A and B are shown apart, each in its own frame.
Chain A
Amino acid sequence: MKWLNILGLLGVISGSAFAEGISVKAADPARNCQNCHAQIKSRLHFSDGSSQTLQVDETQLNDSIHGGRLGCSDCHQEKWGNTHPSVESRSVRDFSIKQSETCKRCHFAHYTRQVDGIHFKLLNQGRTDAPTCVDCHGAHDVKDPKNPRVVMNRKCGACHKEVMKTYENSIHGKGLVEANQDHPLCIDCHGAHKIEKSDEMNFRVSVHLVCGKCHGDAERMKKYNLNPNVLSTYLDDFHGMSNQFYQTQGKDGAQAKKYFATCTDCHGAHDVQSLRNKDSAGQVRKKVIKTCVSCHKTGKDWLADAWLSHQKPTRETAHWVWGVKKFYSFLIPLIMAGLLLHILLHLWKLRSNRSKGKQK
Chain B
Amino acid sequence: MKNLSKTSKIPKIIELEDGTTLIERFSSVRRFEHWFAVIIFLFLATTGLPQKYYTTEWAAELLRWFGGLDQLRGAHRLFGLFFCTHLVIHLLNIVLEVMRDHIRMTLFPTRKDLSDMVQTISYYLGHREKQPIYPKFDYRQKFEYLAIVLCSIVMAVSGLVLFFPIELMQVMSGEVILVAREMHSSQAVLALLLIIIWHLYGAQLSPEVFPGNASIVHGYMTKQELARKHGAEYERLFGPLDGQSVPRQARESSHEKKEGV
Residues of A within 8 A of B (CB): 235, 238, 241-242, 244-246, 248-249, 252, 254, 256-258, 296, 298-300, 302-308, 313, 318, 320-321, 324-325, 328, 331-332, 335-336, 339-340, 342-343, 345-350, 352
Contact = CB atoms under 8 A, between A and B. Distances in A.
A339 B207 contact: no
A298 B186 contact: no
Contacts of A249: 63-64, 68-69
Interface stretch (B16-24, B170-178, B253-261): B170-178
A245 B69 contact: yes
Interface stretch (B84-92, B120-128, B221-229): B120-128
Contacts of B72: 245
Contact of A306 (B169, B170, B194, B198): B169
Contacts of A332: 186, 189-190, 193
B174 A244 contact: no
A28 B87 CA distance: 93
B70 A258 contact: yes
Contacts of B32: none
B182 interface: yes
A256 B175 contact: no
Contacts of A248: 60, 63
Nearest to A331: B190
Interface in B107-130: 121, 123-126
B178 A343 contact: no
Nearest to A296: B166
Interface in B183-220: 183, 186-187, 189-190, 193-194, 197-198, 201, 206-208
Give 8 closest A-B pairs by Cβ, nearest first.
A306-B174, A305-B174, A328-B186, A245-B69, A345-B124, A349-B124, A306-B177, A254-B68
B181 A238 contact: yes
A257 B67 CA distance: 12
Interface string B121-162: 101111000000000000010000000000000000000000
A348 B169 CA distance: 52
Given A241-B51, A298-B166, A345-B125, A340 B197 contact: yes
Measured as residues with beta carbon below 8 angstroms from the partner, the interface class of chain B is: 35 or more
A343 B201 contact: yes
Contacts of B190: 328, 331-332, 335
A49 B234 CA distance: 108
Contacts of B198: 339, 343
Given A306-B177, A347-B207, A324 B183 contact: yes
A347 B126 CA distance: 13
B109 to A, nearest CB: 16
Given A324-B182, A332-B186, A346-B206, A246 B69 contact: yes
Contacts of B167: 298
B8 interface: no
Contact of B69 (A242, A343, A345): A242
A346 B124 contact: yes
Contact of A245 (B63, B165, B175, B177): B63
Contacts of B166: 296, 298-299, 303
Contacts of B43: none
A244 B179 CA distance: 22
Given A249-B69, A343-B201, A321 B175 contact: yes
Nearest to B181: A238
B35 interface: no
Contact of A328 (B126, B177, B182, B197): B182
B249 interface: no
Contacts of B194: 335, 339
B124 A348 contact: yes
A304 to B, nearest CB: 6
B136 to A, nearest CB: 20
B187 A299 contact: no
